[in-house]
């Protein structure tokens, strides 16, 4: 799991209205203030940090909906490289 690193990136790049350290792994990030536009900044930060590239199929609410979903996506991409 990459939850802690993702929380840190959320704090720096996602402009949430909730402190990411208080979010559970399954909390709805969109309810916490994530927008389709802030996902772009978050995506760029995730790619830089984890050295992966998110394909278009992952650019949607399913991937960005929760810390657990993001962590799983990162895990899947890192396993491929």
Which two structure tokens, joined as six digits, stand for 34? 């994530």
Per-residue x/- track, 12-41, other proteins (CB under 8 A): -----xx-----------xxxx-xxx-xx-
Helices in 1-81 by DSSP H: which ranges?
Answer: 3-13, 38-50, 61-64, 67-80
62 binds other proteins (CB under 8 A): yes
Assess 72 for contact with other proteins (CB under 8 A): no
In the complex, minimum distance from the CB of residue 15 to other proteins, in angstroms, rounded to a whole number: 11
- Check binding of 60 to other proteins (CB under 8 A): yes
Within 13 Å, how many C-alpha atoms sit on residue 28's CB side? 5
């Amino acid at each position: 799991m990459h939850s802690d690193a993702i929380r840190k990136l959320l704090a720096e790049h996602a402009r949430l209205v909730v402190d990411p350290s208080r979010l559970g792994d399954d909390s709805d990030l969109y309810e916490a203030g994530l927008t389709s536009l802030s996902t772009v900044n978050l995506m760029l930060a995730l790619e830089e940090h984890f050295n992966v590239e998110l394909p278009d199929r992952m650019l949607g609410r399913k991937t960005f909906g929760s810390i657990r979903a993001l962590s799983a996506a990162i895990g899947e991409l890192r396993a491929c490289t």
